[in-house]
Structure 1
């Protein structure tokens, strides 16, 4: 079911929007000189739509730098006055909202830790009632799309129509090349539920590594995300927070120049006709695939009946291992990844188990009902 959101297009937020829409600036505002100097360098690239800076920094543990605080808003005002760049900051409380708006901040965003707490989001939403300001909602720390949607709806219900989501990846116990796993499928699911909601990617927090920012940025644009928010510092080597994921303004400009901007649909009639033809072929294959899965489930139900009649357990571990290993080997030969083949078969197997269990339970329920009637 599609989300019922009242939102305005990204182009209505700010008069001058670069392609891609790019918010950039230091992870933390550290000193007035650092922030203003970085702002000028970003402005000179001609690539940046808005200037970001962390004013209040929610840290995992006490004792770490938790932001310069409200004084940083005055520095942002100066940076905006000198460069003309709109400004953006994270807010985590009603007081943050009030102070940011009083300082003329143009864009607010709700961080991942805040999104995970409906009480916090509602407090922010209440502080935003009657205000016309763009608000960006980062995904929660954990991969929970309901929390993400709930935060978006709460802010929208407060009357905020200039609204976008920020995809910044999700925490995972598994070690990988990324600070936060992209889990693109969750962002794609959100896009499916809310096609008109702009989604902006945060490659800095996904990667935690400046060397991977370009790769993730391109991937995001290829998935039709509407913009990027990237951390940029005049000298990342001395940054007070998240030094490894920040880039210099010059490096940022080079990175943006290397990105390829693609359109959601080809404009040329020949391109559209070819795309339509290929999609038609996929639709036919999908129809056949669903049909074959349905046929497989019918056979699984027959197996369930046979197991029930012969007192055989539903789960046969050796048989499942045999199916899985054979399919993975076959899939590799057909250039399918092991991960895809395994996940696909797990879904199919889970549905087979569910159907066979239903058959067993139905038989048990029928027996219990007959026993009740006998003793009535």
Structure 2
């Protein structure tokens, strides 16, 4: 991988900095001691796989009493790691004082964490502190699945004149979720890519998974979705890390994980591929049109049912009928190779639209 940066001055002079692809960021969840941080960073640099070093200096934690970061005294350690490895550095900032201290110790890139993105007042305070400062800033998605908050954070930074903005997808908190620490909800970062195609977006599998076992699968999926890079946590002794021990890997294991990934391209100039893809997409377009026509006809029938229910003073929701539709849909979908999760989401959307149509019909004056 090409050398990314060697100094903050380079970052300021290089508007293509965030265009580097793939961009690999790694380092410990938290800077704990100078020895731990230097050892981790030098081992990461030795792999030749990492473009930028990260370390948590200030750690926003859910509950008091947990390790909340070593604080500003860890910044000289990170600065030393940069000098030893030649790799640029990045840290999370949550207050204007964090920004001031990070810049004072030559940090190359800042990122705004999920717990900060969720608060417009905090984001605005950071934007004000960064006004006139020419430094790249990544913005993590908010803790909860709210795209407008994520968009709002981007706009606040852009209004300061900063054009070196990137996004980090680290998953979203969801009640009852067990598979992931933070559910990826891939449709949300995909929508951000659609809205802001000019901004690079990287994936943070460490915080999505909350464990080591799922890192490769989540990383590969993000690559397949044309993400621009990865942020992965690494520690020389993960099991004894002071924070998020379960999701960190050793530098050696990180290199193995990265070697196992398949990096894909968004497109190609091979004419045979382009012709075949065009044919298949034409089929998709035709099928989508047919599906929409069928859905339109279905909703017309739903409105007729609403009229009939109104005439007979019958409620819109019929629980037994809804269960019957779901059971039949799941069985039919499985025979067609469709997952139960997809069928449930599809019928939930169709059912809600049907209810809304019937409600309008039944309550017309």
| Shared fold (TM-score, shorter chain, > 0.5) | yes
TM-score (norm 2): 0.93
- Equivalence map 1:83-94=2 (5 Å): 83-94=85-96
Tell me the residue number matched to 1:27. 29
Offset from partner CA, 1:81-100 (integer Å, 9 cap, x none) = 11110000000000000111
Please say which structure displays the higher CA radius of gyration.
1
- Residue 11 of structure 1 and its aligned partner are, at CA, apart by 7.6
- Equivalence map 1:190-209=2 (5 Å): 190-209=192-211
Tell me the residue number matched to 1:351. 353
Find out whether 1:213 has 2:215 as its counterpart. Answer: yes
Instruction: Please report the RMSD computed on the Cα atoms of aligned residues, expressed in angstroms.
Output: 1.6
Find out whether 1:13 has 2:17 as its counterpart. Answer: yes
- Residue 311 of structure 1 and its aligned partner are, at CA, apart by 2.1
- Residue 63 of structure 1 and its aligned partner are, at CA, apart by 1.5
The separation in 1 between residues aligned to 2:62 and 2:316, in whole angstroms, is 46
CA 1:224–1:11: 2 relative to 1, 3 Å: farther
- Equivalence map 1:130-279=2 (5 Å): 130-279=132-281
- Residue 177 of structure 1 and its aligned partner are, at CA, apart by 2.5
The separation in 2 between residues aligned to 1:130 and 1:295, in whole angstroms, is 56
Find out whether 1:284 has 2:286 as its counterpart. Answer: yes
SS of the aligned residue for 1:133 comes to coil
The separation in 2 between residues aligned to 1:208 and 1:50, in whole angstroms, is 21
Tell me the residue number matched to 2:8. none
- Residue 309 of structure 1 and its aligned partner are, at CA, apart by 2.0
The separation in 2 between residues aligned to 1:64 and 1:348, in whole angstroms, is 45
Contact 2:144 2:172 in 1 (8 A): yes
1:112 to 101, 114, 138: 114
- Residue 235 of structure 1 and its aligned partner are, at CA, apart by 1.6
CA 1:177–1:315: 2 relative to 1, 3 Å: closer
The separation in 1 between residues aligned to 2:210 and 2:309, in whole angstroms, is 52
The separation in 2 between residues aligned to 1:239 and 1:353, in whole angstroms, is 51
- Residue 321 of structure 1 and its aligned partner are, at CA, apart by 1.6
- Residue 14 of structure 1 and its aligned partner are, at CA, apart by 6.5
- Residue 106 of structure 1 and its aligned partner are, at CA, apart by 0.3
2:104 to 84, 102, 105: 102
Q: Is there any run of 5+ residues in structure 1 with no aligned partner, and where? A: 1-7, 366-376
The separation in 2 between residues aligned to 1:321 and 1:37, in whole angstroms, is 58
The separation in 2 between residues aligned to 1:14 and 1:40, in whole angstroms, is 23
Offset from partner CA, 1:321-369 (integer Å, 9 cap, x none) = 211211111111111111111111111111111111111211xx2xxxx
Contact 2:18 2:164 in 1 (8 A): no
The separation in 2 between residues aligned to 1:73 and 1:178, in whole angstroms, is 31
The separation in 2 between residues aligned to 1:14 and 1:160, in whole angstroms, is 12
- Residue 75 of structure 1 and its aligned partner are, at CA, apart by 0.9
The separation in 2 between residues aligned to 1:14 and 1:122, in whole angstroms, is 22
The separation in 2 between residues aligned to 1:313 and 1:183, in whole angstroms, is 34
The separation in 2 between residues aligned to 1:264 and 1:353, in whole angstroms, is 40
Contact 2:18 2:166 in 1 (8 A): no
Contact 2:53 2:89 in 1 (8 A): yes
Deviation >4 Å, runs of 4+: none
The separation in 2 between residues aligned to 1:119 and 1:137, in whole angstroms, is 15
TM-score (norm 1): 0.91
SS of the aligned residue for 1:291 comes to helix
SS of the aligned residue for 1:136 comes to strand
How many residues align? The count is 353
Return 125-134 or 234-243, whichever deviates more.
234-243
Tell me the residue number matched to 1:322. 324
